[in-house]
Amino acid sequence: MDTYSHKTKKELIKDLKALRDQVEMLMSNNPPQPGNAPQSSNTGDYRNVLDGIDDGYWEVDLEGNFTYCNEAMARILGYSRDEIITKNFRAYMDEKTSKLVYSHFNDVFKSKSDKQTVVYDIIRKDGTERTAEISTTLIRSSDGKPAGFRGILRDITERLRDMDLQESFNMMRKALGQTVQALSLALEVRDPYTAGHHRRVADLARAIASQLDINRDRIDGIRIAGSILDIGKISVPSEILSKPGSLTEIEFRLIKTHPQTGYDILKTIDFPWPVATAVYQHHERINGSGYPMGLTDKKIIMEAKILAVADVVEAMSAYRPYRRPIGIDQALDEIKKNRDILYSADVVDACLILFRDHGYQMKD
């Protein structure tokens, strides 16, 4: 398993260079022995240290034949240390990659890219491929002549896989955002007042959720649900949506179908949050007096409880074709009066703190 999957590429390279510098400092007092010469006690000491690190450490001669590797290197490649020492570096990669690594060694030899970090694919003994990041330096003999290469190798396969997953997740988020925007725009065409309403509800709902210390990922879901809260109204005739006077009983019944219609539209979209359920329940009230199901407190999800308060506060404080704005003070009095009756006490308290203590204001 990649023990560095939580780090960025820049952090990985920084760690790799730091480790390489530590190895160089260690090696400066323990120059490499000639091929068949007995190892000094100091050489044994530094190699004991190298066997304790998590990254692969390796040494090759000028022909690319391994002369030493630590236990981590053997583990990464899937061979025993004795097997590795009998091979050339080309044995652990395909022909194309071996040419790239040879070119890198050649640049290091000519001091064109001393201490450079590169990434390439390796092939393990079992045939599986891994992605490795290596930092290479030149080994010089006691008389200063080039004698080989040494370096640190880090398996970053899981790290890259996590980055790919994150990229895929970001693309999914972007696609979902575009879907939500398209749905919202479709409703705005039919009901111009919905556009501002959705934006303000989404912003207020997000602020309430933050005040409640809800985690950021869940807040994203609440914001998205708020931005398409009334998508079900797309099935309601536009003349009813923009009617300047009071609604008839039949017209109000039509309006009350929008949570169900919204749910039917959104349940087909694979959101990573309960968006469809939040939209479906945002007119429910904790005493069971809401619609469409008459759910009570424990059966209503928190996302819907937050949206219910944000929806009421925005609706009462904003202009509508059938009435003038009632005002934010009256809207806050409404939710305070019905705290723990119609609306969740925690949500109401968070909303009141936002406006009265933190100076929150509705955005245009």
**Do residues 166 and 106 share a domain?**
no
Residue 319: phi, psi to the nearest 5?
-75, 140
**Do residues 215 and 331 share a domain?**
yes
pTM: 0.57
Q: Which of 337, 346, 20 is nearest to 214 (CA)?
A: 346
**Do residues 270 and 198 share a domain?**
yes
Say what the alpha-carbon torsion angle 166, 168, 173, 178 is, to the nearest 10 degrees: 150
Q: Where on the phi/psi map is residue 312: left (φ > 0), alpha (ψ -120 to 50), or beta?
A: alpha
Q: Domain ends where: 155, 174, 207?
A: 155
**Do residues 210 and 148 share a domain?**
no
User: In this structure, is residue 363 part of a structural domain?
Assistant: no
**Do residues 132 and 281 share a domain?**
no
> Given a cut of 80, is residue 353 above it in pLDDT?
yes
**Do residues 335 and 220 share a domain?**
yes
Structure confidence at residue 4 (pLDDT): 46
Q: Which of 328, 333, 337, 275 is nearest to 306 (CA)?
A: 275
User: In this structure, is residue 330 part of a structural domain?
Assistant: yes
Q: Domain ends where: 96, 124, 155?
A: 155
**Do residues 99 and 223 share a domain?**
no
**Do residues 169 and 123 share a domain?**
no
User: How far is 14 from 5, CA to CA, in rounded Å?
Assistant: 14
pLDDT band per the 50, 70, 90 thresholds, residue 78? very high
User: In this structure, is residue 1 part of a structural domain?
Assistant: no
CATH number for the domain spanning 105: value is: 3.30.450.20
Structure confidence at residue 213 (pLDDT): 95
- Largest interatomic CA distance in the chain: 101
Question: Helices marked H in 242-301 — which ranges?
Answer: 249-255, 258-266, 275-281
CATH number for the domain spanning 311: value is: 1.10.3210.10
State how many domains the chain has.
2
One-letter amino acid of 322: Y
**Do residues 264 and 151 share a domain?**
no
User: In this structure, is residue 2 part of a structural domain?
Assistant: no
**Do residues 119 and 20 share a domain?**
yes
Instruction: Encode 89-115: b = buried (16+ Cβ within 10 Å), e = exposed.
Output: bebbbeeebbeebeebbeebbeeebee
Question: Both tokens of residue 287?
Answer: 């005493």
Structure confidence at residue 343 (pLDDT): 98
255-313 tens-digit pLDDT = 999 999 999 988 888 788 999 999 999 999 999 999 999 999 999 999 999 999 999 99
117 vs 353, higher pLDDT: 353
User: How far is 135 from 16, CA to CA, in rounded Å?
Assistant: 7
Q: Domain ends where: 120, 135, 155?
A: 155
One-letter amino acid of 118: V
**Do residues 91 and 125 share a domain?**
yes
Of the chain, the percentage scoring pLDDT greater than 90 comes to 37
Mean pLDDT within 4-15: 53
pLDDT band per the 50, 70, 90 thresholds, residue 14? low
278 vs 97, higher pLDDT: 278
**Do residues 166 and 129 share a domain?**
no
34-62 tens-digit pLDDT = 443 334 444 555 566 677 778 888 899 99
CB contact at 8 A, 26 and 117: no
One-letter amino acid of 247: L
Q: Which domain holds residue 257?
A: 161-356
